[in-house]
Structure 1
Amino acid sequence: MNVPAYRVKDAARYAGTSAQTVGNWQRLRGNAPSVISGRDPNELLSYMQVIELGVVAAMRKAGVPLKSIRDARDYLAAEFGSQQPFAEYRFKTDGKQLVLNSEDLDPTVKNRLIIVSEAGQYAWKEILQQLLREFEYAPDDKGVVVRWRVAGVDEPVSIDPRVAFGAPQVSGVPTWVLRERWGSGEGLKDIAEDFTLEPHLVMSALRFEGVAVDPDRPNQWVN
């Protein structure tokens, strides 16, 4: 999961942000920690770094300040030895602070929330509505993100390090493969038949790849 495999511009597109923002989030600010784990300038991003990026981008869209995100990451790294906490824990937010279910960190502590952006102070509150529904976690103590529904929870496109070498995919077929087949002039039904996919899955993959899909376009490919 930590093998570099993703170009920054691609990861930024998946997260709905910019390559410049990715660089800023990985850069140390004086004594302040980076927002996501760093890398060499010319190095690709790993799966775990892409998940960190996606989680942080979702938090920012929900209005969580960067300082709160930095504080949370710093706290978890110091207290629990987590180097990539935003890819390992089930985060929730109220738009101001970052919180975790206490059971995610200590199974013996029930029905509490830990405000990780305030140095781990316990808080008795109702469980907040989960923000990051597109991130699916492994059912173990760490709860590492094993799948990102990168196009949204209602879309079939996902990133899973165990499938298609971690590329965005639908039913195991990388979305870029379907984009190239469409770009060669093939029609929707022909592509779907070749990969044994429902046409709506191909359409979702092409939309994710930024393709304007005409479902009735005839097959223009010539052998």
Structure 2
Amino acid sequence: MTELYGGIDPRDIPTYSISDAARYLRIPAGTIRSWTVGRHYPISNGSNFFRPLIPIRDLKPKLLSFTNLIEVHVLRAIRKHHQIDLRSVRDALDFIDEQFQASHPLARERFLTDGVDLFIERYGSLVNASKSVQTEMKDALNTHLERIEPDDTGLAIKLYPFTRSSEENNPRIVVIDPRIAFGRLVIAGTGIATSVLAERYQAGDSIDDLAYDYECDRLKIEEAIRCELPLVA
């Protein structure tokens, strides 16, 4: 079971700014803001409001929890498809929520089993998606779900975000675990924060210096820095 902090599950603590989430998940901040905060958009006689797909705590500044990160990560797989109808996505997510009768269904292990097929069936019927499109969507969802590790209750507890542009064969070197380093991105199995490594690298420390100081494999140090400084590493 996950240890509670002051009676609160660490997965539910608002921790990540939208810019943090964008950097960790490699998703544009504007997209994450639309999904979690909503946005106004113009129409012929004024403007309308796009309601968020993922509810977050009403705080200033806006902060996401670890569970919210998982939901954004899963939605990323859906968003990859061209001509996506977000209203249909909302309807399909509402359908999943009704079927599971549980909060944050996208962050639960059950979504990996029957939930993916239920979502795709519902979404496909709403947009008249072909079987090939539905198969591509299922493959994309499964690729993302494989990066999530659940605890013994079936709720996500670790996320291995994509660190490279190609999603296939992405290494699982860095991880987000709300129980470690206050949920910051770290090298898996070490607790070494990627942000600390990036700061030292920018300050002039070499990869070899960092590998020696932290007694960590050089390739893992490089991958960690790449997450924070993709244009440098």
TM-score by length of 1: 0.71
Moved more, 193-202 or 158-167: 158-167
Q: 2:169 aligned with 1:158, yes or no?
A: no
Q: 2:118 aligns with which of 89, 98, 114?
A: 114
1:169 counterpart letter in structure 2 = V
Counterparts of 1:187 and 1:68 in 2: how far apart (Å)?
49
- Structure with bigger helix share is 2
Q: 2:55 aligns with which of 37, 58, 61?
A: 37
**1:37-88 deviation line (CA, Å, top 9, x unaligned):** 2332523111111111111122212455423431232123333333322222
The alpha carbon displacement at 1:147 in A equals 1.7
- Consecutive unaligned residues of structure 2, counting only runs of 5 or more, are 1-10, 40-47, 126-133, 164-169
2:96–2:119 Cα contact (<8 Å) kept:
no
Counterparts of 2:49 and 2:103 in 1: how far apart (Å)?
17
- Consecutive unaligned residues of structure 1, counting only runs of 5 or more, are 92-99, 105-111, 214-223
The alpha carbon displacement at 1:3 in A equals 0.5
Q: 2:29 aligns with which of 19, 42, 46?
A: 19
Q: 2:204 aligned with 1:185, yes or no?
A: yes
The alpha carbon displacement at 1:195 in A equals 0.8
Q: Which has the higher contact order (CA 8 A, sep 6+)?
A: 2
**Percent same amino acid among aligned pairs?**
31
Q: 1:167 aligns with which of 184, 192, 203?
A: 184
Counterparts of 1:74 and 1:139 in 2: how far apart (Å)?
24
Moved more, 182-191 or 40-49: 40-49
The alpha carbon displacement at 1:33 in A equals 6.1
Give SS of 2:64's match.
coil
What is the number of equivalent residue pairs in this alignment?
191
2:56–2:64 Cα contact (<8 Å) kept:
no
